[in-house]
A and B are shown apart, each in its own frame.
Chain A
Amino acid sequence: MGQFQTSAYAPGAHPDLPPPPSTVGIVGWLRTNLFSSVFNSVLTILAIFLLLVAVPPLLDWSIFDAAWMAESKDDCLKNPDGACWGFVTSRFGQFMYGFYPSAERWRVDLVGVLTVLLIGMVLFGKGKIRGYGVLIFLAPFPVAAFILLYGGVGLTVVETNQWGGMMLTLVIAVTGITASLPLGVLLALGRRSNMPIIRNLCVIFIEFWRGVPLITILFMASVMFPLFMPEGVNFNQLLRALIGVALFSAAYMAEVIRGGLQAIPKGQYEAASALGLGYWQSMRLIILPQALTIVIPGIVNTFIGLFKDTTLVLIIGLIDFLSAVNTGTQDVKWSAFTVPMTAYVFAAIVYFIFCFGMSRYSISLEKNLATGHKQ
């Protein structure tokens, strides 16, 4: 044993040696993350090769060869190998606001800013601030937003058939989302209720709306519904679509929330009763906070699905964001082969930004509300 150097140190007094060079620095990172086994090495090399093949042409197309400024298709046809961003910039207003008059677009912007502020209050505010946020969001805000968007009270009236683009998409999505959550909670509670009439009504409602595709609901709302109305009674097309979307997503939301309710152990219900809490108190204070936290991923999943489903309203002639993009590509002035490609890439980026934002928020919310009970 004496020939080993270690004997020079007392037990436990050996100074820390640097880690082996192959596990630190860039080399170490590469070894652990990219080349940890033969299979992973092959995959890494393949991925690098694919990136080399795909990225330069993509950059060329989207940036270096692109027509950034263009008045019409002729400017874009000069760069046939590049994107035609000039199309997107000249139609940007229409993509965002539809046919909303330019002079009145500040109203839409204002509603947008208010929405973001309120959502910020609800999402990131603490205690009272959040409470106020929720209250404003549910009661005065929809009224104010409607007056701002539609007009009246001194503002020029902008008919809903002039609404369009991203604004319309957001109006439908936000309405659907805000209406579906409370409705979904009520339906989920109703479905688990002990009262047979309420339970059965909720079951029928949920199963009916879940059993019918959204496209059929929209189609019925816009095609069949007016035929059953008396002559001259004209229910606003957008309102019909909004109600359809809200009820449809409420049914889905109800089932997501019911999943959360079922995951709460029976002991929690019993403990709530033992404390002397009534039904609504125990739901509000004990059960729902836990149940909703569990199903955050499911709720956000439904929101994202709803956001993307809103594009189905183009079937009933509402010009939402995607429909505005589609319509733009049909203009003779922009009738070039690079235009549709650019338009759809732009649409994909915009949808991605919104959906990715929602998903990131859901992750941060899960972290904030984590109580350490996760398994």
Chain B
Amino acid sequence: MKTFLKTTVAGAAAIIIAGAAQAATLDDIKKAGVLKCGVSQGLPGFSNPDDKGSWAGIDVDYCKALAAAVLGDAGKVKYVPLSAKVRFTALQSGEVDVLSRNTTWTFTRDTNLGINFVGILYYDGQGFMVRKKLGVKSAKGLSGTAVCTNTGTTTELNVADYFKANGMKSKLVAFEHANEVVAAYDSGRCDVYTTDRSGLAAQRTKLKDPNEHMVLPEIISKEPLGPAVRQGDDQFGNIGRWVLNALIIAEELGVTSKNVDQMMSSKSAEIQRLLGVKGKYGSYIGLDAGWAARAIKAVGNYGEMYDRNVTPLGLARGVNNLWNKGGILYAPPFR
């Protein structure tokens, strides 16, 4: 039923959206004076309200950077919590301007749903967690185990594919909410807990004794998480893409939220271009010269965003490091 609904909705959405070419998101945002940003209903490290009710996370920081670039104020963001089921419609129908909600960039989503992904904010992948007592050192040894995961996500399908491809048998136990999966795994109902690696790291701290568990080395899927905008508005797509790129380039160039003002007088030509000291790069995307400098000042470069939000989960940079530091983060040159 769920799948049926999803397909119907996606189909209807595609038909309706295909006709309506959207335009001038930038003007709408400027007129409203606020950026409407779709976030999750609570995912540690990505988008989560703190005790005071203000949103934090790497997805949230992207929205702040975008608001700083477009409106000049990182605080002018209206966060719209979206469930996994309504996120794409919310973007298509204009309820949000940008979807920054730990969403995996896939072929169908990019082409068939009337939305465009603007880049990759976080490279995730599905992994496995087991008890150390189980004595398994590789995912290949998981045959015959009970595997716990969330319902209605790609993780379910990935794990089924993986076990089938390797000729292994397993019993899949799926739950609606992450808390239930953790409780089931902790009480011994399953031997294995599978979800995205970032999720594993975050949920691990909820176990009675986190040290009794280990994450297996295998990563069985690619989950490039990135922000998306409506299809048909290339200008706003460019803004979204280059705000993300600017944050990555800023880390490459060593521009941080703290030194961005000093960097204005840097001799490096690329820094001058990035911060709008030289050239009219902002005008190509409908913004002023200082857009990138404001974004960096508001949330810092990519590394600062990562350290503030994802490092507390206990996740090292890994593949999310810059291409010249052992990762795969690579932004096109700013010229």
Give residues in A with beta carbon < 8 Å to B.
Answer: 73, 80, 90-91, 93-94, 98-99, 159, 161, 219, 222-224, 226-229, 231-232, 234, 237, 314-317, 319, 323, 326-333, 335-337, 339-340, 344
Contact with A along B182-204 (1 / 0, CB 8 A): 11001000000000000000110
B95 and A326 contacting across the interface, CB-CB below 8 Å: no
B42 and A330 contacting across the interface, CB-CB below 8 Å: yes
A227-B17, A340-B182 are known contacts; what are 19 more A-B pairs with Cβ within 8 Å? A80-B208, A94-B49, A161-B80, A219-B5, A219-B86, A223-B86, A227-B89, A231-B94, A315-B83, A316-B83, A316-B85, A317-B81, A330-B202, A331-B49, A332-B48, A335-B206, A337-B186, A337-B207, A337-B208
B53 and A99 contacting across the interface, CB-CB below 8 Å: yes
Listed residue (B16, B49, B85) with the most chain A CB atoms within 10 angstroms of its CB: B49
Size of B's binding interface in residues, CB under 8 A: 46
Pick from A224, A234, A344: contact of B94, CB under 8 Å? A234
**Bound complex: CA A317 to CA B177 (Å):** 14
Residues of B within 8 A of A161 (CB): 78-81
Q: How far is the CB of B35 from chain A (nearest CB, A)?
A: 13
Q: Which residue of chain B is the closest to A324 with respect to CB atoms? A: B49
**Bound complex: CA A232 to CA B78 (Å):** 17
Instruction: Kindly identify, within residues 28 to 81 of chain B, every residue whose CB is under 8 Å from any CB belonging to chain A.
Output: 41-45, 48-51, 53, 78-81
Residues of A within 8 A of B89 (CB): 222-224, 226-227
Q: Cβ of B174 < 8 Å from any Cβ of A?
A: no
Residues of A within 8 A of B93 (CB): 226-227, 229, 234
Given contacts A231-B20, A332-B313, A337-B207, contact A327 B41 (CB under 8 A): yes
**Bound complex: CA A226 to CA B5 (Å):** 16
Residues of B within 8 A of A223 (CB): 9, 85-86, 89
Listed residue (A99, A161, A224, A330) with the most chain B CB atoms within 10 angstroms of its CB: A330
B92 and A227 contacting across the interface, CB-CB below 8 Å: yes
A327 and B13 contacting across the interface, CB-CB below 8 Å: no
B78 and A333 contacting across the interface, CB-CB below 8 Å: no
Pick from A226, A319, A337: contact of B206, CB under 8 Å? A337
Q: Cβ of B151 < 8 Å from any Cβ of A?
A: no
Which 3 A-B pairs give the minimum distances between C-beta atoms? A226-B93, A327-B42, A330-B42
Given contacts A327-B48, A335-B206, contact A314 B41 (CB under 8 A): yes
A99 and B208 contacting across the interface, CB-CB below 8 Å: no
A224 and B53 contacting across the interface, CB-CB below 8 Å: no
A329 and B82 contacting across the interface, CB-CB below 8 Å: no
Q: Cβ of B178 < 8 Å from any Cβ of A?
A: yes
A326 and B83 contacting across the interface, CB-CB below 8 Å: no
A319 and B81 contacting across the interface, CB-CB below 8 Å: yes
Q: How far is the CB of B242 from chain A (nearest CB, A)?
A: 26
**Bound complex: CA A314 to CA B179 (Å):** 16
B41 and A99 contacting across the interface, CB-CB below 8 Å: no
**Bound complex: CA A279 to CA B206 (Å):** 64
Residues of A within 8 A of B202 (CB): 330, 332, 335
Q: Which residue of chain A is the closest to B16 with respect to CB atoms? A: A227
Residues of B within 8 A of A229 (CB): 93
Q: List 13 A–B pairs whose Cβ atoms lie within 8 Å, in order of A's numbering.
A: A80-B208, A90-B51, A223-B89, A226-B94, A227-B17, A317-B82, A329-B42, A329-B179, A330-B44, A330-B202, A335-B202, A335-B203, A337-B206
Pick from A317, A333, A336: contact of B90, CB under 8 Å? A317
